[in-house]
């Protein structure tokens, strides 16, 4: 268990590795590894992979450790192997920029193609990657409607019942007994759900950030924080500061 998860544990004992919730009446499962599952239809949803982020920075003369794509794909492969989904939805910003898939090294491309083999794969258009991935299988759409849900990259203002979105990389800060813990999270009020970023070098925005304003009914909002082995579900009203 990581330091953040260990700090939360005394206040939320006996919590499971997944959170089973409903969004707009559809059953979904939040996995502590940062993926969403639709168990009835065997769909796995992942958001904001930001593959080739290090390479994108290098093209601009800014050096980052070049291991982000390998780490992200390795984690994704473990989850695809665990759940063997019929379909994978990549919820936008799959690549850090529009050139990411074009210059993807051959070994990473082979790893992605192996994950795609034998299953449906849908790429959702993101703001970082507004073009179809180069030389990779799968459908390319702006948004996808399934099971009373709508999958898109950027959340929309207003009553978007059933929206599953990414883009904002939600995180939650919990303070208990003078100790503060900040973790990436799934955020849902039962009407919509925001996905955490899956990419290995992605940051996050706290639920009180102005970009989150108007997206949730705070009386119903729950943050499902990612621990190393567990999900920690905390009502927004219980968060301090």
8 Å CB contact between 227 and 2: yes
CATH number of 3-236: 3.60.21
Size of the chain, expressed as the number of residues it contains: 241
DSSP-assigned letters across all residues of 8-59: HGGGS-S--SEEEEEETTEEEEEETTS-EEETTTTEEEE----BTHHHHHHH
Nearest of 123, 211, 219 to residue 169 by alpha carbon: 211
Per DSSP (E only), the strands in the chain are 18-23, 26-31, 36-38, 43-46, 87-90, 120-124, 139-141, 143-146, 149-152, 163-165, 170-176, 179-188, 193-194, 205-206, 222-226, 231-235
pTM, to two decimals: 0.88
* pLDDT tens for the 241 residues of the chain, in order: 333 344 434 334 444 689 999 999 999 999 999 999 999 999 999 999 988 775 555 556 666 666 789 999 999 999 999 999 999 999 998 886 777 778 889 999 999 999 999 999 999 999 978 889 988 999 999 999 999 999 999 999 988 999 999 999 999 988 877 788 889 999 999 999 999 999 987 888 999 999 999 999 999 999 999 998 899 999 999 886 5
Residue 142's pLDDT is: 96
| Other CB atoms within 10 A of residue 157 CB | 8
């Amino acid at each position: 268990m990581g330091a953040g998860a260990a700090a939360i544990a005394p206040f939320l004992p006996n919590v499971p590795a997944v959170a089973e919730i409903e969004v707009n009446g559809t059953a979904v499962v939040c996995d502590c590894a940062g993926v969403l599952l639709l168990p009835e239809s065997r769909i796995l949803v992942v958001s904001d992979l930001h593959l080739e982020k290090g390479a994108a920075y290098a093209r601009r003369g800014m050096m980052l450790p070049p291991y982000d794509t390998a780490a992200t794909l390795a984690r994704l492969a473990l989850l695809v192997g665990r759940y063997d989904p019929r379909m994978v939805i990549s919820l936008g910003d799959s690549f850090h920029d529009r050139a990411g898939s074009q210059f993807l090294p051959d070994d990473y491309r082979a790893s992605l193609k192996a994950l795609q083999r034998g299953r449906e794969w849908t790429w959702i258009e993101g703001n970082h990657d507004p073009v179809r991935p180069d030389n990779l299988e799968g459908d390319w759409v702006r948004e996808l409607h399934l099971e009373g849900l709508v999958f898109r990259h950027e959340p929309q203002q207003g009553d978007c019942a059933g929206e599953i979105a990414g883009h904002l990389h939600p995180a939650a800060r919990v303070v208990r007994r003078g100790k503060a813990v900040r973790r990436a999270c799934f955020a849902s009020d039962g009407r919509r759900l925001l996905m955490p970023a899956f990419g290995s070098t992605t940051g996050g925005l706290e639920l009180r950030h102005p970009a989150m304003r108007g997206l949730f009914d705070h009386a119903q909002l729950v943050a499902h924080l990612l621990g190393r082995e567990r999900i920690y579900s905390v009502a927004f009203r219980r968060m301090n500061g």
